[in-house]
């Protein structure tokens, strides 16, 4: 059975309760609560009955967090980007260095994806790999490269506690 992602609804103009935000952002309630615990998302206020109330821009923030995770960023890295965005000022030296390292890592990932694309295109044009050769896909990604090393935890400007996603080690 094929599972389709939730389609975000249109955001109402007024404050959103957690259920409405979940629908608008296309995520589960537990995801919003998790983001709150990680200090990635905070309600503007609470209603008289104690329910969380979020501004309409919260849906954009939640979708940004979700999409960043899909693209391979850790929540710690997303937190650093949000911290810069929330301050709306000039980034500190640490944040600027972190952002520069992320740009280099993104460029390296783009290079990897381009090599993979060329290899798949070649494979499709030439047919399947012969038994006595190295598959072009393996050759494209298995070749030594000058890839920027993944950002270490120490250089990430914000500190948050909790579980993190394991990083993919790059050879080189």
Once rounded to an integer, what is the mean pLDDT over residues 66-95? 81
Once rounded to an integer, what is the mean pLDDT over residues 152-158? 44
- Among candidate residues 30, 18, 27, the one with its CA nearest the CA of residue 54: 18
Looking at residue 145, what is its pLDDT? 60
CA distance 17 to 26: 14
Once rounded to an integer, what is the mean pLDDT over residues 142-170? 46
Helix, strand, coil: what percent of the chain each, to 5? 50, 5, 45
Per-residue pLDDT at 44 exceeds 60: yes
φ/ψ of 129, rounded to 5, equals -70, 135
Q: Which one is predicted more confidently, 126 or 107?
A: 107
Q: Taking the complete model, does pTM exceed 0.75, yes or no?
A: no
CATH for 16-71, options being 1.10.1660.10, 3.90.1150.10, 3.40.50.300, 2.60.40.1260: 1.10.1660.10
42-56, 57-71, 79-93, 125-139: range with highest mean pLDDT: 57-71
Neighbours of 106 (CB within 10 A): 14
């Amino acid at each position: 059975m094929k599972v389709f992602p939730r389609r975000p609804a249109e955001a109402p103009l007024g404050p959103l309760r957690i259920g409405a935000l979940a629908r608008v952002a296309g995520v589960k309630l537990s995801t919003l609560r998790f983001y709150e615990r990680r200090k990635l998302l905070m309600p503007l206020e609470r209603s008289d009955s104690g329910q969380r109330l979020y501004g309409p821009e919260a849906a954009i923030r939640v979708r940004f967090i979700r999409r960043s995770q899909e693209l391979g960023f850790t929540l710690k890295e997303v937190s650093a980007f949000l911290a810069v965005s929330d301050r709306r000022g000039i980034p500190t030296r640490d944040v600027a260095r972190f952002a520069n390292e992320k740009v280099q890592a993104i460029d390296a990932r783009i290079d990897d994806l381009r090599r993979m694309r060329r290899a798949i295109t070649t494979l499709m044009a030439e047919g399947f790999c012969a038994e006595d050769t190295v598959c072009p896909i393996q050759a494209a990604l298995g070749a030594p490269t000058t890839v920027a090393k993944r950002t270490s935890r120490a250089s990430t400007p914000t500190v948050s506690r909790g579980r993190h996603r394991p990083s993919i080690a790059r050879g080189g």
